[in-house]
Structure 1
Amino acid sequence: MLSQRVNAALVFIPLVLILIYLGGWAFNLFILLILLVATYEFTRLFKEMGHQPSLVMLLLGVALFVVQRWTLDDAYLVPLLTLLVLANTINGLVEYERGRDGAALGFVINLAGILYLGWVGGGMISLRALENGLGWMLTALPSVWLADSGAYFIGSWLGVKKMSPRLSPNKTWAGLAGEVVTGTLFGALLVLLWRSVGWLPAVTPLWQGAVMGFVLALVSAAGDLLVSLFKRTAKVKDTGNLIPGHGGILDRIDSWIWAALVGYHLVQLFAVI
């Protein structure tokens, strides 16, 4: 039986692939929507832990980061960060005066959530907006999906030693090895495929796809474990129940957002090598 993550990928892949292909406002609006839903789930998780994050400040901060990636250049990044830190400072002071003793920790959680889902999550828009963003987006995300499948099958077959028994008891070192090997292989094959249809330049070396697949396999595993940390601490099985039988949006995109942002920076690095 396939893991929930693989099943969910099979549900989302057609929609996500269509929107990646379309790009532009349709893709960006979709990313904004799923990140806002994920923000709601993030806030709910920390409230389950007994903390007091502000849903309004989190939604506003994530939305502003997405808009910055969508419509503004990076010159606006520092002013935006300054504004968000100041706004959350004022919110924390007001919340404490209103009787919320957890306002200080709420301030920290707000900023962490905004950076996690706004800055990291917004990387999906940045990667797709690159000159060859279609090809690189269709290298980064599918290599992660396929690597995840490799982790499941290899881990089920050969996995004995647990990698992180407290956070994710089903993860094994063999599964991680299978994830890395699968991601590396398919990263190179995807570059070869997109070169053949013109979505990446014909001179794009296969090693770039292999490096991307290798790095993103490791990064996606860390992203998955981070959300497991949230859920274990909150003592819940899933981040939400938006997708019957598959949990919440944050459960589904925990590795995607890291893959896109790190993939974006890898493409920038490839350009100067």
Structure 2
Amino acid sequence: MARFRPRRIGEGVGGLRGAGASFRGRGAPLAAAGPPVLRTRIRSALVLAPVVGLAVWAGGWPFLAFMVVAAGVAGHEFVRMWRGRGYPTSAGIVLAGVALAFGDAVWPAGDLLRVGLAALLIASAAWYVFRYRPGTPAVGWALSVTGGVYIGGLMSYFVRLRALPDGLAWVALALLTTWASDTGAYLLGRAIGRHRLCPQLSPGKTCEGLGGGLIGGLLAGGVIGALAGHWSGAIGWSNGLAVGALVAIVAPIGDLIVSMMKREVGVKDSGNLIPGHGGVLDRTDSLMTVAPVVYCFAMWLGQ
């Protein structure tokens, strides 16, 4: 499991990291990442893209299995980050929260989340109580429950989204607009980024990059929505534009949430499983906040 080891700040190379690297710029336009770095990231993306695409296309149990594995790995990285800081987080509790959230997504009529969350809170607290050691067990308990519910609860919305009548189009829209927004943010932020967006958490993110993310999200949303409308009558260009705008707003929030965690524990990446991109948590931070927003928008449209 050493491949999941979080990288401390200063261990890795700089440049484009993927979803969490948007809006780069430290008071002046940034130089491009070196060719070896970009080549590594492009190779990783070329390997991952077909896997993600096939899982989304298949839907059903294959997509569920893919999402559960991704959430489980992200949860493992979450636990290792906080343990590295000395907090006794529990992988079992985090994974239980992930399983609970995905179970509720698959069987919403069973009311698993409401009943299961109460059981998880009580059982996990009891586990820490009876295994009490001096230190920070209460913080470890709170982090474990929060990590499982946050990662599992948000990522499971992709399963809910895929289960909609036009779920394939909606998931594709959510993924592609997020990546287009991140790309637009990176490119414009690198070119003209000067005004920092959130300097205390992520000094490299700029307001100019945020504008680039909006442009990328709108372009991708409009095109994908129009194509989906042409092929299946789903979404349409106007709704695609709306989703693109929403994604450009909420995706950076997801990125900054995970950046806050990493800054707290003093690591650059949540792991090193994906060469050039960091860990799964790094690659899904923006998507976690995008999925529930796109799902709610689809439900508002009557899906």
Same fold, judged at TM 0.5 (above): yes
Residue in structure 2 matched with residue 118 of structure 1 by the alignment: 152
* Residue 259 (structure 1) aligns with: 290
The structure carrying a bigger helix percent of its residues is 1
Asked if 1 retains the 8 angstrom alpha-carbon contact of 2:228 and 2:236, the reply is no
Report which structure shows greater RCO (CA 8 Å, sep ≥6).
2
1:231 and 2:244 equivalent?
A: no
Partner residue, 1:86 = 122
Shift of 1:68: 2.4
1:165, distance to aligned residue in structure 2 (A):
2.2
By how many angstroms is 1:81 displaced? Answer: 1.5
Residue 265 of structure 1 aligns to which amino acid in structure 2?
C
Give the match's secondary structure for 1:171: strand
Contact 1:37 1:249 in 2 (8 A): yes
Deviates more, 1:80-89 or 1:35-44: 80-89
Shift of 1:15: 1.6
Determine which of 163, 178, 183 is the counterpart of 2:217: 183
How many residues matched?
A: 267
| Mapped partners of 1:16, 1:132: distance in 2 | 18
- 1:129 and 2:163 matched: yes
Q: TM-score, normalised by structure 2?
A: 0.83
TM-score norm. by structure 1 comes to 0.91
Deviation of 1:78 after TM superposition, in Å, equals 1.0
Matches of 1:14 and 1:220, distance apart in 2? 23
1:137-156 per-position Cα deviation (integer Å, ceiling 9, x unaligned): 11111000001000011111
Does 2:178 correspond to 1:144? yes
Unmatched 5+ stretches in structure 2: 1-13, 20-40
**Percentage of pairs with the same residue:** 34
Q: 1:1-273 residue pairs with structure 2 within 5 A?
A: 3-5=16-18, 7=41, 9-73=45-109, 75-96=111-132, 99-198=133-232, 200-201=233-234, 204-271=235-302
Deviation of 1:28 after TM superposition, in Å, equals: 0.6
5+ residue gaps, structure 1: none
SS at match of 1:222: helix
1:112-138 deviations in Å (ceiling 9; x for gaps): 112211111111111111111111111
Q: How far does residue 77 in structure 1 lie from its aligned partner after superposition?
A: 2.3
| Per-residue deviation, 1:71 | 3.8
Contact 2:227–2:236 under 8 Å retained in 1 = no
Q: Tell me how far 1:100 sits from its aligned partner.
A: 4.2
In structure 2, C-alpha distance between the alignment counterparts of 1:236 and 1:222, rounded to whole Å:
19
Structure 1 stretches of 4+ with a deviation exceeding 6 A read none
